[in-house]
Structure 1
């Protein structure tokens, strides 16, 4: 049973990495849309309506992707920690002579 919890922990790590990659893509979509909007200028040097549309849609979409993947990543991180703690508890319960103790040192704890 402890092995199945460790397997869940390992698969959870992969989903957290994917969330980080998706969040990075969202950030770069927002940044590139913001910068790309400056290509669409009118004769006075102001950003045209098309540029504003590109900026608004791109930045909004990128920030939504970034926010959603960050939220998913933090929630997955907490669930993943629970799988690891459950695996250690199950192991310690069945092997009382060789106990495992976990010390988390991420430095941040948002929840």
Structure 2
């Protein structure tokens, strides 16, 4: 299905996407880079925004039976949650609610 975007460019819309892809078959990373194209410092931000934080977090994951790939996935989950919680706190200033959210996340993700 072809549509016209607000900018007048032709785009595509698909209700079924392959895992890891966005509309029109482009990767999410490629779309993020495209969205930030032309913004000074964006490339530097994107180049280290995930990987520079993962290795230290992967080293903290000590869950019995978890593979190396599983530890990396859990580390990404923790990183994404932490950044989201910080953004929530910055956007709302609601420290009590964010603290409750963090407590719930810890209870859900730590092994019993």
Q: What TM-score comes out, normalization by structure 2 length?
A: 0.30
| Structure index of larger Rg | 1
